[in-house]
Chains A and B, each alone.
Chain A
């Protein structure tokens, strides 16, 4: 077995398991947890495009989740536009906001960008919480928006069971992963990594670092907003504290950082390891120890940053390589 064959085989195996899982997991609760896991993996992978490859630290990605969720929901509730189109509209609006944040800050020290993302996210949350009606648009302040489960069907992005949502988010995740893989091998990917690591050297080699970061930010904002629409259609209820909260922004960043930013598998690994932690904390300690999962995330984050700066993916990919080496090298020897 060659290395390529082994890789194709393991990829196929994972895909088969993921696709077949709903056939065995019949419990709606577990399916729900799985869907959220994929949703977070999708979010952290989208975050990684700018937070990982471009070497900056966005700490307000909930802004884009919120923009996506609110745009498609308002469009569908008030104007009867299908959420699929709303999804696209939210994505484009997010690009505008993302570029607005990035444009002045990418030319400066990274701290400015991190500051601006937090300040912007909080600013938008405060606005949404305090506005009931913005011109013709009903925003409904802190109470949020409810989507009545009436017209099920693919065109309305609304389903009675969980399975369709499962396959939609799996498709979205696979697409964003493929996209990330493609970007990381492209000129843009090289330029992003170079600019993130040594901006001066990159500039001297012909890289317009700020512009590359801006492109990455635009892509990341767009993709993150799509998840916002998914979130809204999946939970059928959005409010500022859920989709625009600082906690969400931080959870996305923390998971990606702990998993290993700048690698393709890192953010997913982070989601696989950490999502169960927050689910367990919320289910079993939610009342007595609120915020426990965030304390755990914080501690793990600090430990990982000090001892494994490239994230958990480093030991894991080391392990994978060892297994792969053994499997791929012993086979020819036996012949």
Chain B
């Protein structure tokens, strides 16, 4: 069974069509990369899937059930977690506190939530920072905290929105490793990323969108060679001349 099916997804903002009849689906355990130039509608796709706003039309099914109009918190309980492109830590709280908010999705007991949060922090090598205020973290640690919180909700599928933006090359490599480990844990991963090196290395399948429309898809090598994709990124004149 497909874990995620998106059928004819449309999302309008006023007169602007941000997502235009998008179709895609994902198998359990897959890593799917979504790329496209700035303003292509990538984050809008995520926001529709994560329940931030309902699609204008079209259907989204998560593990076989239609989740149309469901709110982010119920989707989270269904096993769908996400990170934000602009990280949103609970700045005045400690790292542990931040992650515990996530682990409370699966338990009501504070002691148990703390134990599970510490497990996640150890996995992401953030445990030594558990007592630090989230607002005082470096950008790399903040991105990792963003993943830790989402992971603490014990998702079956994770939407990662530019978790590598602003990281240094060595930090990007670490992040790639983390994502691969997540997949080994059986988590399906849907990722938006601008750093091509990383997304090409990670993804099993890549979907390219431009002006909200799918213009190409395939395995990384296929997509990289696709003329449409190059045009979309560099502009028409490059290919013509």
Contact = CB atoms under 8 A, between A and B. Distances in A.
A touches B in complex, CB < 8 A: yes
B110 A200 contact: no
A321 interface: no
B90 A194 contact: yes
Interface stretch (A44-52, A183-191, A285-293, A298-306): A183-191
Interface in A171-202: 185-187, 190-191, 193-194, 197-198, 200-202
B136 interface: no
B123 interface: no
Contacts of A206: 73, 76-77, 102, 104-105, 153
A191 to B, nearest CB: 7
B101 A204 contact: no
The A contact surface, by secondary structure, is helix
Interface residues on B, range: 20 to 34
Contacts of A200: 52, 84, 88
Nearest to B91: A197
B108 interface: yes
Interface in B58-95: 71-73, 76-77, 81-82, 84, 88-93
B90 A201 contact: yes
Given A193-B93, A197-B93, A198-B90, A204 B100 contact: no
B90 A197 contact: yes
Interface in A181-233: 185-187, 190-191, 193-194, 197-198, 200-209
A207 B101 contact: yes
Given A190-B101, A198-B89, A206-B105, 12 more contacts: A190-B97, A193-B90, A193-B97, A194-B90, A201-B84, A201-B88, A201-B149, A203-B72, A203-B76, A204-B150, A205-B149, A207-B73
16 contacts: A187-B110, A190-B100, A190-B101, A190-B113, A191-B104, A194-B90, A200-B52, A202-B101, A203-B73, A203-B76, A205-B102, A205-B149, A205-B152, A205-B153, A206-B76, A206-B153
